A = this chain, B = another copy of it.
Amino acid sequence: MSVTAAKGFTAAGIAAGIKENGNPDLALVVNNGPRRAAAGVFTSNRVKAAPVLWSEQVLKSGQLAAVVLNSGGANACTGPKGFQDTHATAEKAAEVLGVGAGEVAVCSTGLIGVLLPMDKLLPGVETAAAQLSEHGGEKAAIAIKTTDTVHKTSVVTKDGWTVGGMAKGAGMLAPGLATMLVVLTTDADIDGATLDKALRAATKVTFDRVDSDGCMSTNDTVLLLASGASGVTPEYEEFAEAVRQVCDDLGRQLIRDAEGASKDIKVEVVNAATEDDAVEVGRSIARNNLLKCAIHGEDPNWGRVLSAIGTTKAAFEPDRLNVAINGVWVCKNGGVGEDRDKVDMRYREVHIVADLSAGDATATIWTNDLTADYVHENSAYSS
């Protein structure tokens, strides 16, 4: 159901000809109100694509009427002309929808350093607007795919109100957001400031803890739009939890579809002195190429987990570290623990627990194994 699961939204997804292979490449999401509140979170990469610079500016009002998204080109590192193209895209959507350009966010994904074919994109916006539908969420989710093998949507329905969304992303996943575009919608009656608070809280523990390959993109955007069409204003905690659930579900779908991956790895750090320590250790483990290769080879290589922990500044004593892989404590007190041959690694999901014995804070980071397929896919995929 995607972005049209919540009342008050229409969407469309079409093939505008931006992609040379003719696949869908342009999506439009429209908030028909009565409210048009919105919030956004963007890449923390300092090299930001034109659409990110534009949408960050637009979001300052806490309002959005529509979002235009395209695949087939990231419009990143494209200079002043690239920014003009983003602006023109927003103007075109504003014109056909009868709203202000300052109420239109733009998201782009695809190759860096290439200008978008505006002669195809602008007519595409008109075509998409003509196809807007309350059932268009699925098509919109399909139109934002790049190397994704499946489109990703999620919906949580509560008592009279809904949060739904779509995501694209399949690699270059790293904290500070992944190479991903996400649009979330809700018909709850919520103001922009509250949306912003709930969205930041959710992304901090979901998308920010998805780390497929440690690479951070120039285009990452997560938007949350509220139409108020349900007439219900839920309690903040309940609303924030629903947003978190949708983000968590979409984040897991990104990991499952990561380029070339054969294993999804849940890195759970427990008994850390602080949550920051837990996150730092989790990321260090999740980014260790040697460990990621070992997991690919179904080798419960706890020595590489300890090596990764040792590179952090987190509080711990080496001789009090414990590591479990799929439930077997293969490392105890910094040394050999239970028999590593007991570890069953045949399944796609692998669960690593790193016990720092230093406190009671915890954090979970999701990553993938490193495979020859990842190398192949990213050797062939040009800039």
Determine the distance from Cα of A321 to Cα of B194 in the docked complex, in whole angstroms. 38
Known: A214-B287, A215-B289, A297-B380. A311 touches B111 (CB 8 A): no
Complex: chain B residue closest to A290, CB-CB: B215
B-contact 0/1 string along A209-245, CB 8 Å cutoff: 0000111111000000000000000000000000000
Give chain A interface residues in 104-133, CB to chain B under 8 Å. 111-114
Contacts of A48 in B (CB 8 A): 310, 318
Residue of B nearest to A78 (CB): B335
**What's the minimum C-beta distance from A188 to chain B, rounded to whole angstroms?**
35
A372 in the interface, Cβ–Cβ < 8 Å? yes
Expressed in whole angstroms, the minimum distance between the Cβ of A80 and any Cβ of chain B is 9
Assembly stoichiometry (copies)? 2
Q: Knowing A47-B307, A382-B301 touch, does A335 contact B290 (C-beta < 8 A)?
A: no
Contact with B along A118-150 (1 / 0, CB 8 A): 000000000000000000000000000000000
Give which listed residue, B114, B290, B302, B375, contacts A293 with CB less than 8 A.
B375
Flag whether A3 is at the interface (Cβ < 8 A): no
Task: State how many residues of chain A have any CB contact under 8 Å with chain B.
Answer: 68
A326 contacts B by Cβ under 8 Å:
no
Could you jot down 11 A-B contacts, CB within 8 Å? A47-B321, A76-B306, A79-B333, A216-B310, A217-B307, A294-B382, A297-B379, A340-B383, A370-B375, A372-B372, A372-B376
Which A residues form the contact surface with B (CB < 8 A)? 44-48, 74, 76-79, 82, 111-114, 171-172, 176, 213-218, 287-290, 293-294, 296-297, 299-304, 306-312, 316, 318-319, 321, 331, 333-336, 340, 370-372, 374-383
